[in-house]
Structure 1
Amino acid sequence: MGVTIRQIAEAAGVSRGTVDRALNNRGRIRPEVAERVRQIAEEMGYKPNQLGRALSMSRNNIKIGVILQGAETPFMKEVMKGIEEAGAEVDNLGGTVLIHTIEHQSAEDVLLAMEKMRQEEVSGIAMVPLEAEEVKKEINRFVEEYHIPVVTFTSDVEDTKRLCFVGQNGVQCGRAAAGLMGELTGGKGRVAIISGYSTNTSLSSRVAGFQSEIKKKYPGIKIIGPEYCFEENALAKEVAEKIFKDVPDLEGIYLTSHGEEGVCQAIAETGKTGQIKMIANDFMGRNYELMREGFIHFLIGQDARIQGYEPVMILFRLLFNGEKPDREKLFTEIYIRNEYTIPERRR
Structure 2
Amino acid sequence: MKKERLTTKDIAKLADVSRGTVDRVLHGRGKVSDKAREKVMKVLEEQDYKPNKLAKALQANKITVMAFLIPSPELDEYWQFAQQGLEQAVDAMDLFSIEVASYYFDPKDKEDFINQSQALLDAHPDGVIFAPFFYQESIAFLTQCKEQDIPCVTFNTQLKECAQPFIGQDLFQSGQVAASLIKKSTATKGDILIVHFDESVSNALHMQKKEAGFFDFYSKPENAGYKLTTVNIQKDDASELFSYFDEVFQTQKGIVAVYVTNSKCYKVAQYLANNDIDCLLIGYDLIQENRTYLTKSTIDYLIYQNPKMQVSLAAKNLADHLILNKEMPAITFLPLDIIIKENLDTIK
Q: TM-score, normalised by structure 1?
A: 0.77
Query: Compared with structure 1, are the counterparts of its residues 86 and 343 closer, same or farther at alpha carbon in structure 2 (3 Å cutoff)?
Result: closer
Q: Structure 2: how far apart are the matches of 1:256 and 1:339?
A: 19
CA drift of 1:286 comes to 2.7
When residues 339 and 193 of structure 1 are mapped into structure 2, their CA distance, relative to the original with a 3 A threshold, is: same
Task: Please give the root-mean-square deviation of Cα atoms over the aligned residues, in Å.
Answer: 3.3
Give the letter for the 2:205 counterpart. T
- The corresponding residue for 1:265 is 270
Cα shift at 1:334 = 0.9
Describe the shift of the 1:195–1:159 C-alpha distance in structure 2 as closer, same or farther (beyond 3 A).
same
Question: What is the Cα deviation at residue 82 of structure 1?
Answer: 0.5
Partner of 2:216: 212
1:127 is displaced (CA, Å) by: 0.7
Aligned to 2:255: 250
Paired with 2:312 and 2:241, the residues of 1 have a C-alpha distance of: 30
Structure 1 gaps of 5+ residues are 5-19, 32-48
| 1:182/1:214 contact within 8 Å kept | no
What is the rounded CA distance, in whole Å, between the counterparts of 1:89 and 1:213 in structure 2?
41
Indicate how the Cα distance of structure 1 residues 190 and 130 shifts in structure 2: closer, same or farther if over 3 A, else same: same
Task: Give, in angstroms, the shift of residue 287 of structure 1.
Answer: 2.4
Q: How far is 1:289 from its partner?
A: 2.5
Percent identity over paired residues: 19
Q: Equivalent residue for 2:138?
A: 135
SS in 2 for 1:341: helix
Counterpart AA for 1:146: Q
1:70, distance to aligned residue in structure 2 (A): 5.2
Gaps of 5+ in 2: 9-22, 32-48
Q: Please give the secondary structure, in 1, of the residue aligned with 2:172.
A: helix
Aligned pair in 2 of structure 1 residues 313, 215: CA closer, same or farther (>3 Å)? Answer: same
- Give the Cα–Cα distance (whole angstroms) in 2 for the partners of residues 233 and 226 of structure 1: 17
- Is 2:161 the counterpart of 1:159? yes
Cα deviation digits, residues 197-217 of structure 1 (max 9, x gap): 313322321111111102224
Equivalent residue for 1:39?
Answer: none
Q: 1:229 to 1:260 in 2, by over 3 A?
A: farther
Preserved CA contact (<8 Å) 2:26 2:58: no
Cα 1:101–1:113 shift into 2, 3 Å: same
* Partner residue in 2 for 1:81: 84
Instruction: State how far apart, in whole Å, the 1-side matches of 2:27 and 2:138 are.
Output: 43
* Residue in 2 that maps onto 1:223: 228
Q: Is the 8 A contact 2:28 2:59 kept in 1?
A: no
- Counterpart of 1:94? 97
Q: Deviations over 1:123-165 (max 9, x none)?
A: 111111134324312311220x2111221111122212x4211
Separation of aligned partners in 1, 2:131 and 2:144: 17
Shift of 1:2: 10
> Cα offset for 1:304?
2.1
- Cα distance between partner residues in 2 of 1:109 and 1:203: 20
- In 2: Cα distance, 1:142 partner to 1:250 partner: 46
Q: Secondary structure at the match of 2:283?
A: strand
